[in-house]
Amino acid sequence: MHARQLEYFLAVVDHGGVNRAATALHVEPSLSQAIRVLERDLGHDLFHRVGRQLVLTDARRALVGPARDVVRGLRTARASVESVGGLQTGQVEIAAMPSQTVEPLSGLITTFRRKHPHISVRIDAAFTPNEVVDRVRSGTVELGLFGSPHEPTAADVDLLGLGRQRFVLIAPADGPFPPGNPVRHEQLAGQQLIVGQPGTGMRRLVEDIRASGVALSEVVESEHREAILPLVINGVGLAVLDAISARHGVSFGYDEFDWSCERYHSEGAMMPANGLDQIRGHDAIYLGAVGSPGVADHVSLWGLLIPIRRAFRQYVNLRPITVFEGVESPVRTATASTVDLVVVRENVEGEYSEIGGRLNTGHPSELAIQEAVFTREGVTRVNDYAFTLASQRRGYLTSATKSNGIMHTLPFWDQLVAERAPRHSGVSWDQEHIDALCAKLVLDPSRFDVIVASNLFGDILSDLAAAVAGSIGMAPAANINPQRDFPSMFEPVHGSAPDIAGTGKANPLGAIWTAAMMLDHLDHGEAAAEVETATATLLRESPLRTPDLGGTATTEEFTKALLGFLPR
């Protein structure tokens, strides 16, 4: 009996058949033979062959547990030899119930992956605490995560409490449950409830209440939390939700991808060849800083960020700029009561073009050519977006140009801005040459409302404006596909800041404000407003500041303080 035979056997068990297992392992000719040899060595049939199907035998069931122990032990030994000095390769397998896959699991995995970027994580669904424990006990997974008011029977596994989850009752305002008052289980007797799918926290709590002897009636089961609030409002029944989902009727699922300069070093590419297909079906993309001193900026930019922007038609780059009360701007005239502007940057064409090349490399006659591309469609749509945005704000738009020196593309830009302006009669507008505009943005930032600019000019202006607001670490950004045919992407303006990476000095506000923009784009404006209000309140009422704002607070300390200003 060999370890490889046991691995093949477990693959057949896990994949439900020889063909699927062989395809997954890429060993089609040898797998069947290995299973036959294993059966011969054991003296027992592991599967009954009925036509083309395999039916499990008692011998097979008895072998599964010990086989997993052996294979896992060999993998551990192999990884230990290959990765002396720390966790460097391998995979962690986790069984988790649905309610815990968003929180706390997403945060735990994020922290783990930062420390061990080459360890992959696999999450398997389980729907009861005992199922999670059984998966760990059998060796199917290394770790399990569940929520329960009672500890399951688990004498042979270690249990560690991670925290408590608060639930609230969703009920009509004119019902028998006054807002803010605790609700005892017995008060729910005879009530009709809307419940979630098996394995969710809301469903499990309802089952626990019923098990305590309280008679409940389940009238609707829904996999979609978005449907629960309308059902309650229409009098169908009551619902029990965790507090976060209940406040805004929203829950999030996350997929994390290790697309970074580290991946470029190990794989030769910032993302896999099918990367765009992997994220195409998501509602939104949240991008962290990915730059690294060991990888040229144009490699990381054109290997990840720009392909996403262009493939998903994210032709608007939106960058709001605000001077918050309590944050001192390096510009004397920039105050909280005066500076509130937005830079709208054309995001998929312009100066950032793939057209061009280099010639005579290494010779005195070496040259490089870079072509800018401005299309009527591209310029028109971003200007229409900017004019519309200005009409919803103070009604004033400034167009960035340099048509006195660039004789083709920017006069074309100016022409199209002038063509679109009459369609937005409620907006006054002007244009400024980019050099003069940069000077005026510093000397008198309060005069600006919406600035629309080409790809290059918008990139420069938005970083300059962020510095005027106090710190580029506070600046958010959104790459928007206004038609919503594709997912939009949200990213803080700041880079990866390798000089302070891992020191706890980074300002988290850029990332937090970016998340608020994502919430707003996903039509959760109230939740977004609460994040923005908490940010403003913290900066106004607390002396806590990160080093870039002249303070000593760590990233974690600042973030925890901000969470304290969010409504409960």
Domains and CATH numbers, the chain: 3-82 (1.10.10.10), 167-248 (3.40.190.10), 281-498 (3.40.718.10)
Average pLDDT over residues 261-287: 90
How far apart are the C-alpha atoms of 439 and 484, rounded to whole Å?
36
Give percent above pLDDT 90 in the chain.
32
Average pLDDT over residues 213-234: 78
Instruction: Give tens-digit pLDDT for 408-462.
Output: 999 999 999 999 999 999 899 999 999 999 999 999 999 999 999 999 999 999 9
Ranked by mean pLDDT, which of 28-37, 109-118, 455-464, 540-549 comes out on top?
455-464
Lowest pLDDT segment from 169-178, 428-437, 557-566: 169-178
Instruction: Give start and end residues of each alpha helix (H) in 83-104.
Output: 98-102
Residue 84 reports pLDDT greater than 50: no
Lowest pLDDT segment from 13-22, 325-334, 371-380: 13-22
Mean pLDDT of the chain: 82
Tokens of residue 330, six digits: 């390096």
How far apart are the C-alpha atoms of 338 and 321, rounded to whole Å?
11
Beta bridge partners of 53: 50
Sign, CA torsion 181/185/187/191: positive
Lowest pLDDT segment from 94-98, 202-206, 503-507: 202-206
Tokens of residue 425, six digits: 């009669």
Average pLDDT over residues 127-136: 81
- What is the CB neighbour count within 10 angstroms for residue 411? 14
Average pLDDT over residues 52-65: 58
Give percent above pLDDT 70 in the chain.
77
Instruction: Give tens-digit pLDDT for 489-539.
Output: 999 888 777 887 778 888 889 999 999 999 889 888 888 888 899 899 999
Instruction: Give tens-digit pLDDT for 14-32.
Output: 666 666 666 655 555 555 6
Residue 74 reports pLDDT greater than 70: no
Lowest pLDDT segment from 174-183, 263-272, 441-450, 475-484: 174-183
- Within 101-183, strands assigned E span 120-125, 143-145, 167-170
Average pLDDT over residues 196-224: 76
- pLDDT number for residue 54: 53
**Which of 56 and 85 is assigned the larger pLDDT?**
56
The answer to whether the beta carbons of residues 352 and 376 sit under 8 Å apart is no
How far apart are the C-alpha atoms of 393 and 341, rounded to whole Å?
9
- pLDDT number for residue 106: 66
How far apart are the C-alpha atoms of 154 and 135, rounded to whole Å?
12
- pLDDT number for residue 498: 80
- pLDDT number for residue 221: 81
Lowest pLDDT segment from 236-240, 273-277, 403-407, 450-454: 236-240
Residue 60 reports pLDDT greater than 50: yes
* Cβ contacts of 514-521, under 8 Å, gap ≥ 24: 514/286, 514/476, 514/477, 514/478, 514/490, 515/286, 515/490, 516/476, 517/318, 517/320, 517/476, 517/477, 517/478, 517/490, 518/284, 518/286, 518/478, 518/488, 518/490, 521/284, 521/478, 521/480, 521/488, 521/490
- pLDDT number for residue 76: 61
Average pLDDT over residues 154-159: 75
- pLDDT number for residue 165: 63
- DSSP label at residue 188: G
Residue 148 reports pLDDT greater than 90: no
Backbone angles phi, psi at 523, to 5 degrees: 70, 30
**Which of 369 and 49 is assigned the larger pLDDT?**
369
